[in-house]
Structure 1
Amino acid sequence: MTDLTSLAFLLIAFLTGIAGALQTPTLSLFLTTEVHTRPILVGLFFTGSAVIGIIISQIIASYSDRSGDRKILIVICCLFGALGSVLYAFNRDYFLLLTVGVLLSTFGSTATPQLFALAREHADRTNREVVMFSSILRAQISLAWVIGPPLAFALALGFGFKTMYLSAAVAFVFCSVIVWYALPSMPKEKRADNARLQAPRQNRRDTLLLFIVSALMWTCNSMYIINMPLYLITELQLSEKLVGIMMGTAAGLEIPVMIIAGYYAQRFGKHKLMKNAIIAGLLFYIALFFFTSPWILLLLQILNAIFIGILAGIGMLYFQDLMPGQAGAATTLFTNTIRVGWIIAGSLAGTVAEIWNFHTVFYIAAVMCLVAIFCLQGIKPTK
């Protein structure tokens, strides 16, 4: 039974990853070509989406750690995500997408941190090795991003954005069905557990610094995702299909990076792995200053994969270690660093592209990596 449940976790992570990978890589292109928005409004859209996401996910996380059943929450989030995808398929009004569309899609993305929180509790209950199980689970999302971006651009360019978004809706619905029938139900008992909730206070400073580090790293990645498609197509005059191939290549390389990082986490520690990830990211963005050849850009995805692979796999576990007993809050806090990254990236990427050019964004990303290394040095190393 436990093995079947673990397989269900892996399949659900893959499906939620597919749903996100079908939408996020093409969103800036969708807003530009279908909704006909200016670059600065594209950035505003990403920022608004992230702000709403932080508010909703924190409310859900606070509730899920105290009472309720994560399984039911995940089902609800997936169904709302499906409704959001349907809205994107048939609507082209910018402000309706920015309000109702973003609200619904935010619920869909909130299913992921709840899934990882439930997976952590399941691993603890069944005495499964947490780091490796979480790394393999996170690798499923990367596997989805190997398939998702090329598929997204193929569907959008070959059959239209309507087909692409409806495909994402189907993935969400299928995911909700599997969650309902296959995942364990772990309802929380309502109780006074102030001691548990106060435990992270001793790690408050380190948690804050880790939040800043993670947010800066995700900001770099988000600016890259927002501007890279438009940079390759409009400035370098490269093929639109190359965008999907590059994203898929990076995601494919992230899988072995996550598994290897999970294997060596106990030996080297999460702190050292995070530092190596930032250094790889710094080298990646510096290299983008100088190289524009498609083949070299594809090779550079190795550095990008190390940067994001370690962050996505180890970063979440680092938060959980600093916040014992609060799997939902810790996982959501990590996920919200992604959303903070989108907020900063949405503001910077659109503004910088409109004032200067898309290439300038990579200079800013390199500086952020340097700041992230400085902040990481202030965190007390732990296993």
Structure 2
Amino acid sequence: MKSLLTRKRSVNPVYLAFMAASFMTGIAGALQAPTLSLFLTREVQARPFWVGLFFTVNAIAGIVVSLLVAKRSDSRGDRRNLILFCCLMALCNALLFAFTRHYLTLITLGVLLSALASVSMPQIFALAREYADQSAREAVMFSSVMRAQLSLAWVIGPPLSFALALNFGFVTLFLVAAALFLLCILLIKFTLPSVPRAAPLMQSGGMPLSGWRDRDVRLLFIASVTMWTCNTMYIIDMPLYISATLGLPEKLAGLLMGTAAGLEIPVMLLAGHYAKRTGKRNLMLMALAAGILFYAGLVLFRSQTALMALQLFNAVFIGIIAGIGMLWFQDLMPGRPGAATTMFTNSISTGMILAGVIQGTLSERFGHIAVYWLALGLAIAAFAMSARVKNV
């Protein structure tokens, strides 16, 4: 009875607000991303080349803007106000896509608004890390539970996105996303705290030290780019591979993705629970070992049952690197959670850009199986690089 009372008293409303903010922001983003190529093709009448160009420009703009914002976010201003501004830009972006069908407007103004909007999620995680450090909460578990909310949002968001777009149209879809961002703004405004800024590590000139100058940060960034390149190549290629090469039902692709996403949530929570005891580097190496087994399995096995079973290794791989990878960056860059989280999210974006180019080239010239041979090699390289990063 005493333990139950203690547990009830330990429930922190701010903690719950962070969970809700990450979930709501994740859902709003997950509504727009899955159907964006369909929107550009059907509504904007863009040819495949222009669709691909839009995604490339969008990813590059997101990296540039997030890097510029991250430098300021750790040294000046209220991080919560920055998050509110980014969510407001996300709301404007959703309204723009709801009512505009002009490609040039979308690839200029739309991409700019989208790039500013994309900063909101890493900044929410940076604010959460500052709050956890200030309030002496367990930062690893706190961040892992938040990251699980984002994964849950991506389990729910894509099916809901297709349902809204196909049944009610894209105007309704983007208006629903805009309404969700409005709720996010209200939630963040009235529930998330303003955390006093810890003094960042400085150079003599008064500017925060660049994480890129640190050998361990550089190595982890390259390893992280490699990991996310593997994952994105798989996501792009897998639906084509199972239907065109293996002759399996197309609906299996959705089942595989949904299974992996569902399994990632308990993996994230377990990783957060054992991180302090096991160490972040050991967990990341365990994740990469699972990734190596996953891609080796894709090369060796071709049955539907084997592909389903392999999703357990895929979930361990992505579930750990998605949560613990971000925390490892933050630990390697103390006093700069915004810059650290942005480096992690930019490694994902960079991996996505590389994956699109590599997957298209390999599958066209050497067949789909070549994609998984390369992913296996990249996973082994990422393991070797991560093993050389210090454990903090």
Report the TM-score, using the length of structure 2 for normalisation.
0.86
2:299 and 2:83 mapped to 1: Cα distance? 41
Matched residue type, 1:265: A
1:306 and 1:353 mapped to 2: Cα distance? 26
Contact 1:39 1:354 in 2 (8 A): no
Match of 1:268 in 2: 278
2:72 and 2:142 mapped to 1: Cα distance? 25
Match of 2:262 in 1: 252
Match of 1:170 in 2: 179
The within-5 A match list for 1:183-222 is: 183-186=192-195, 188=197, 193-194=202-203, 204-222=214-232
Residue of structure 2 aligned with 1:3, choices 12, 24, 34? 12
Deviations 1:263-282 (A, max 9, x none): 11122211111112112222
- Label 1:192 to 1:250 Cα distance change in 2 as closer, same or farther (>3 A): closer
- Label 1:160 to 1:295 Cα distance change in 2 as closer, same or farther (>3 A): farther
Ranges in structure 1 where 5+ consecutive residues have no aligned partner: none
Contact 1:52 1:102 in 2 (8 A): yes
**Alpha-carbon RMSD:** 3.0
Matched, 1:22 2:31: yes
Matched, 1:330 2:325: no
Contact 1:46 1:342 in 2 (8 A): no
Match of 2:328 in 1: 318
Matched residue type, 1:96: T
Matched residue type, 2:172: T
Report the TM-score, using the length of structure 1 for normalisation.
0.88
Match of 1:373 in 2: 383
1:108 and 1:230 mapped to 2: Cα distance? 31
Deviates more, 1:45-54 or 1:202-211: 202-211
Residue of structure 1 aligned with 2:86, choices 77, 93, 97? 77
The within-5 A match list for 1:31-46 is: 31-32=40-41, 34-35=43-44, 41-46=50-55
Deviations 1:58-81 (A, max 9, x none): 111111111111111111111211
The within-5 A match list for 1:109-258 is: 109-186=118-195, 188=197, 193-194=202-203, 204-229=214-239, 231=241, 242-258=252-268
2:201 and 2:246 mapped to 1: Cα distance? 59
Residue of structure 1 aligned with 2:292, choices 282, 306, 331? 282
User: Matched residue pairs, number?
Assistant: 382
Match of 1:299 in 2: 309
1:260 and 1:192 mapped to 2: Cα distance? 32
The 3-state SS of whatever aligns with 2:74 is helix
Deviations 1:245-291 (A, max 9, x none): 43332222111111111111122211111112112222223333355
Deviations 1:287-307 (A, max 9, x none): 333555555434332222111
Residue of structure 2 aligned with 1:346, choices 333, 345, 356? 356
Deviates more, 1:52-61 or 1:237-246: 237-246
- Label 1:307 to 1:23 Cα distance change in 2 as closer, same or farther (>3 A): farther
What is the CA-CA distance between 1:121 and the residue it aligns to? 0.7
1:268 and 1:46 mapped to 2: Cα distance? 38
1:192 and 1:269 mapped to 2: Cα distance? 24
2:106 and 2:198 mapped to 1: Cα distance? 38
Matched, 1:51 2:74: no
1:238 and 1:34 mapped to 2: Cα distance? 31
What is the CA-CA distance between 1:157 and the residue it aligns to? 3.3
Query: What is the percentage of aligned positions where both structures have the same residue?
Result: 53
2:169 and 2:184 mapped to 1: Cα distance? 23
Match of 1:104 in 2: 113
Contact 1:39 1:350 in 2 (8 A): no
Matched residue type, 1:211: F
The 3-state SS of whatever aligns with 1:300 is helix
- Label 1:362 to 1:168 Cα distance change in 2 as closer, same or farther (>3 A): farther
Contact 1:80 1:107 in 2 (8 A): yes
1:39 and 1:348 mapped to 2: Cα distance? 17
2:212 and 2:65 mapped to 1: Cα distance? 27
Ranges in structure 2 where 5+ consecutive residues have no aligned partner: 1-9
- Label 1:179 to 1:314 Cα distance change in 2 as closer, same or farther (>3 A): same
What is the CA-CA distance between 1:354 and the residue it aligns to? 5.0
Contact 2:201 2:209 in 1 (8 A): no
The 3-state SS of whatever aligns with 1:379 is coil
1:151 and 1:237 mapped to 2: Cα distance? 28
